[in-house]
Chains A and B, each alone.
Chain A
C-alpha cells in the first residue's frame, strides 16, 4: 500500500541526486509542487524525463538540476519558446545538458513498454526523418509480415511523480480529465509518488477516470493546488496568464533567478509539512 506522507518527506526518501525522474502530466495535472520541492531539497544531476518539458522543466533546467533531458516537445504551449531550455541547449547555461529526444509517439510507446516490463516497443514511426539519426531508434523487421518497423527502448525511470485530483487513505489514486501518460509512467518506474488535491474517505467512481491502485504506488502526498499553473480538472483552472507571463520572466537569466528565489526556493508552502 502506498504510504501517506508529507510531500517533503516523500521526496526526501524517494529521490536522490543522479536519479532518473519522470514528472508527468500532459498539459493537465503537472506536478509543479513536487518539482519545486525537489529544487528546494537541492537535487542535482537528475535525468529528467517528460514528454512535454513545459514551464516546470524550464525552471528545473534553468536552476541547473538536470544533466540529461528525455523529451519529445520542449515548447511553452500556445506561447512560444521555453527560454531556459533553449539557453541550456544553445549556450550550455547554467550547465550543458544531454538530450535524448523522441517524437510523442516514440515517448508514449517507450513508457508503455516500461509499464509492460518489455525491453522495447514497436511502432510505425521516425522513417525518413533526421530524428531517426539522433534518437535511440532501430529499425526491425516484423517476424510475421516482414514489414520494417521502428523499435524504441523502454523507459524505466527510477521515480515517477504524478499529480491527481484525489486519493483515499489506502493510497488508491483517482484522476480524471486528460490522462496523459501518468498511469504508464507510474507502472514503468521503480518508485512512485502521487501528489493529490485532497485525501477522501472513499473514492467515488467517475466515468472515464483513471484509477491507480495504492499497491503499485510507493507514496501519496497531499498537495492542494499542486498542479498550478497547470490545472486539476474540476478543482483548479489552467493559469493561462502565467504561461504568457513566464515568457517574459524566463527570457532573462537574472530575472529568472530572482523569480525562482522569491517564488520557489525560499517559499514555504504549508502543504509541505502539513499532516498527511
Chain B
C-alpha cells in the first residue's frame, strides 16, 4: 500500500510502458515527466524526441515547453521542423508516441481542436500541432488523459487525430503505417483496443479503483476485460525517483 496520488500512478504506469522502447515522441506535461522517469528507472538508453526538433534530449529538469534550452543543449541532434516531420516522424522512425487530448472516443480518436462547433466554438482548444501525422506514422501511440466523462465522450466534437476511425480496417484504408493506439493510460486504469473490434477495453485498474468507478467516469458503455489486471503499486524506487524529479 503506497501513498501515491492517482496522478503519480498514471505517470508511473506510463513510464513502465517505455521499459523496452527504443524511442518515444513526447509533448510537455505528464508525458514528458513519464518519459524522463522511464530514462531514470527503467531504460537509460531511451531516445526522447520532442516536436521542437530535439532528438535524444536528456533533460535533468522537467521542461515547461517542448523547446526549452536544456533540450537543445543535451540532444544528440537538433533538426528543423520540416526535417522532423518529413524525415523522422512520417517514415515511422519513432517507435512510441505519447499523446494527450481534450476528448477521446471509444476507438481512440482524439479531439484537441474545439468543444462545440468549429465555426463558433464554445471552447477553442490549441489545435492539432503534430498529432494527426504522429498518430498516423509512429509505430505505436499511447494516449494519456484524465478519466472523466468530459474527456471520454461517446462522440467527438471534432476529430483532430484518428485512432482506429470507425473500427477495423479504417487505418489500412487511410494508408496509415503505424499500429495506432495500443493503450490509453488514465488516472483510473488502462484501456486497450480489443483485438477484434478495436474498441477500447478496460484491461487494467489502478489500486483502490473499481470497474464501476471507471464506467461512471466514461461517457459510453465501457467494455471491460474478463479479468482486468490490478495495476502493480508503485515501487519505492519509482515513487522516490518521480518525487525527486518533480522537486528539481
Given A75-B126, A78-B63, A123 contacting B86 (CB threshold 8 A): yes
Choose one: B66, B123, B133; the contact of A124 (CB below 8 Å): B133
13 inter-chain pairs at a CB distance below 8 angstroms, sorted by A residue, are: A28-B72, A51-B81, A89-B121, A90-B121, A123-B86, A125-B132, A127-B162, A127-B176, A129-B132, A129-B162, A177-B69, A178-B72, A231-B69
Q: Give the total of B residues in contact with A, Cβ under 8 Å.
A: 55
A28 near B82 with CB under 8 A, answer no
CB distance from B121 to the nearest CB of A (A): 6
User: Number of A residues contacting the other chain (C-beta, 8 Å)?
Assistant: 56
Q: How far is the CB of A238 from chain B (nearest CB, A)?
A: 6
Asked if A140 lies at the interface with its beta carbon under 8 angstroms from chain B, I say: no
Q: Is A246 an interface residue (CB 8 A)?
A: no
B-binding segment of A180-188, A196-204, A216-224, A261-269: A180-188
Structural contact, A103 and B124, CB atoms closer than 8 A: no
Taking a contact as CB atoms closer than 8 A, the residue among A90, A101, A108, A147 that contacts B82 in the complex is: A108
Query: Which residue of chain B has the shortest Cβ distance to A92 in the bound complex?
Result: B120
In chain A, residues 224-261, which have Cβ atoms closer than 8 Å to a Cβ of chain B? 231, 233, 237-238, 240, 243-244
Interface residues of B, Cβ cutoff 8 Å to A? 28-29, 51-54, 63-69, 71-73, 77-82, 84-86, 89-90, 113, 118, 121-133, 136-137, 158-162, 165, 170, 174-177
A residues with CB within 8 A of B: 26-28, 51-52, 71-75, 77-79, 81-82, 85-86, 89-90, 101-105, 108-109, 111-112, 123-131, 134, 147-148, 177-181, 183-184, 208, 210, 231, 233, 237-238, 240, 243-244
A-B contacts besides A28-B67, A177-B72, 7 pairs, CB < 8 Å: A73-B126, A81-B125, A101-B128, A103-B128, A105-B132, A130-B160, A177-B78
Contact, CB under 8 Å: B121 / A178: no
Task: Specify which of B53, B89, B159, B170 is in contact with A26 (CB 8 Å cutoff).
Answer: B53
Q: Which chain B residues lie closer than 8 Å to A181 at the CB level?
A: 80-82
CB <8 Å contact, A124 and B175: yes
Question: Do residues B51 and A104 form an inter-chain contact, with CB atoms below 8 A?
Answer: yes
